[in-house]
Amino acid sequence: MTDRHISATGPAPADCQVELADMPVEFTAFCEMNRPRYLSYARVWFREPGEAAEVVRCALHALARVWPQVLGSPNAPAAAWEVLRETVAERHSLTDPAGRRPGQADEDLAILHYVVGLATPEIADVVGGDTAGIATRLRHGLRPTD
């Protein structure tokens, strides 16, 4: 089991100010690799592209504040994904308190696969899971309930 609950110590501040230019090269590479996928996920929850981009920016700033803990965790991609999910859920609840709420792991997998268009190995890279487990969860999600 992985530690998927590294908190960014509360929500990112409204201005999301952390100097990302001073972050280690590993963080920069992580952001470059994951920002497009994170943005595609956020666009599902925020109709305005600018709003989705701002949420991802805030999530990456929140991630920067806990980067050493993320790297020290048993599963850094899973810990980073949790920071993104927390940021998306919090910001979405502020803009649409009566609407859909992000937060179900299997729903996230379905969104990443069927809406964003990621293959299971890419989803595994983003959420910190194993490809076979994600494929199984996606297959089970398609089964009708009795």
Q: What CATH number corresponds to the domain at position 116?
A: 1.20.140
Residue 104, pLDDT > 60, answer yes
CB 93 within 8 A of CB 55: no
Q: Per the domain annotation, does 6 fall within a domain?
A: no
Contacts of residue 49, Cβ cutoff 8 Å, sequence gap at least 6: 43
Residue 3, pLDDT > 80, answer no
In the predicted model, what is the mean pLDDT of residues 66-87? 95
**Using CB atoms within 10 A of its CB, is residue 65 exposed (0-12), middle (13-18) or buried (19+)?**
middle
Question: Domains in the chain: how many in total?
Answer: 1
Q: Per the domain annotation, does 11 fall within a domain?
A: no
